[in-house]
Structure 1
Amino acid sequence: MNDELRKLLKRMHYPLEVMLTCVRWYAAYPLSLRQIEEMMAERCVFVDHSTVSRWAIRLLPLLEKIFRKRKRPVGGSWRMDETYIKVKGAWKYLYRAVDKEGKTIDFLLTSKRDKAAAKRFFDKAMEANGTPEKVTMDKSGANKTAIDEINASMKIPMVVLQIKYLNNIVEQDHRAVKRITKPMLGFKSLRSAKSILAGIELMHMIRKGQLMMEGGEDLSFADQFYALAGKIRSV
């Protein structure tokens, strides 16, 4: 088990299997916290919906961090776009990118949609995944300006395409994330939104086969998730 996860679990008083099941359901399916509370009660496990929320905020970003160390390499042709996520009644911006095969490259939730936010996303994505050969995006001037600034410091600049129909693959991919966030009816804080979205993206990447681990192809999507925490069996 990851040392950081072990330290966190020392401060939490429920069995790990129960916590992992709850947060996996929340990140993997379009369920509300109260629905998860009811589903666990049907299994004679009594936990308050607010407790499930706290588990998700603490556990999901840590499990996503563990996953990143085992994430399969992505392709060099990126499709980048942003979508809207409601936080405290206001729209925030979720920057996302996939490769031409649809594999998730990276994601970043920001308060603003501007050059600085786009550059933060590109810097984060390239630090974790290397520099792409080609980036396809929409007609956003902010995104283009951000990548032009990055290209200006490179010996071999990235090819940049602004062709909307080529970006359909990432726009369609947004739907998998939005389908899960819809029952959540918005997030209460940017911190909680970032934590939960990390878990949603994690489950989405596992479903795409992006977890690289020995014997992983023989495990269900659920057991691949539990394996990140050193567990296999669910409750």
Structure 2
Amino acid sequence: MLSFKGTHFQKDVILYAVFFYVRYGVSYRDLEEIMEERGVEVDHATLNRWVIRYSPAIAVKAKSQKRETNKSWRMDETYIKVKGQWTYLYRAVDSRGDTLDFMLSERRDEEAATAFFKQTINNNGFPDKVVMDKSGANYAGLANINL
């Protein structure tokens, strides 16, 4: 359980500010203005301390309450433009269509596929079945995990 003992602000205010920063990726100064519009006067440095202190604990709590995923995955990658640069988007969804994980990579190779599968398995456990296209790199990446 998160401890808010000794904080100047109420728990709800702190959690709202941390959630807003993590969810929407605004700057601390913008978040300071947003909080001020809602009647809470807080400095951007304090907001930074809250994010540093509480976001890791919130992430652990959220991960522990994550629902089980199906053990049948669909994995693919596509080529997308991010900030004017072409990158590969690896993604995995379960048979219900829920996104399991995603990763951006500069290359579409065995190393990138292995890193993606390690990350996805670490976050969701081992699948029973993985459906993917005929990419040799993806197959090799999955074979590296199965050793």
Say yes or no: TM over 0.5.
yes
- Which whole-Å CA distance do the structure 1 matches of 2:13 and 2:7 have between them? 12
**Which whole-Å deviations, capped at 9, do the CAs of 1:127-162 have from their partners, x for residues lacking one?**
4433223223456543332112234x3xxxxxxxxx
- Which whole-Å CA distance do the structure 1 matches of 2:10 and 2:61 have between them? 20
Specify which of 102, 105, 109 is matched with residue 97 of structure 2: 102
Q: Is the 8 A contact 1:85 1:93 kept in 2?
A: no
Normalised to the residue count of structure 1, the TM-score between the two structures is: 0.45
In terms of fraction of residues, the more helix-rich structure is 1
**The structure with more radius of gyration:** 2
How large is the Cα RMSD of the aligned pairs? 3.9
In terms of fraction of residues, the more strand-rich structure is 2
Q: CA deviation at 1:21?
A: 0.4
Q: CA deviation at 1:95?
A: 4.7
Normalised to the residue count of structure 2, the TM-score between the two structures is: 0.65
- Which whole-Å CA distance do the structure 2 matches of 1:91 and 1:57 have between them? 32
Give the % identical residues: 47
Q: CA deviation at 1:77?
A: 1.8
Specify which of 22, 26, 30 is matched with residue 32 of structure 1: 26
- Which whole-Å CA distance do the structure 1 matches of 2:81 and 2:7 have between them? 33
Q: CA deviation at 1:26?
A: 3.1
Go from structure 1 to structure 2 and tell me whether the alpha carbon gap of 1:148 and 1:106 turns closer, same or farther (over 3 Å shift): same
Q: Please name the residue that 2:131 is paired with.
A: 136
Where does the alignment leave 5 or more consecutive residues of structure 2 unmatched? none
**Which whole-Å deviations, capped at 9, do the CAs of 1:149-205 have from their partners, x for residues lacking one?**
234x3xxxxxxxxxxxxxxxxxxxxxxxxxxxxxxxxxxxxxxxxxxxxxxxxxxxx
Q: How many residues align?
A: 144
SS in 2 for 1:75: coil
Higher relative contact order (CA 8 A, sep 6+): 1
Q: Please name the residue that 1:42 is paired with.
A: 37
- Which amino acid letter does the alignment assign opposite residue 141 of structure 2? A
- Which amino acid letter does the alignment assign opposite residue 38 of structure 1? E
Where does the alignment leave 5 or more consecutive residues of structure 1 unmatched? 154-235
Q: Please name the residue that 1:80 is paired with.
A: 75
For the pair 1:60 / 2:64, whether they are aligned, the reply is no
- Which whole-Å CA distance do the structure 2 matches of 1:62 and 1:93 have between them? 31
- Which whole-Å CA distance do the structure 2 matches of 1:12 and 1:113 have between them? 47
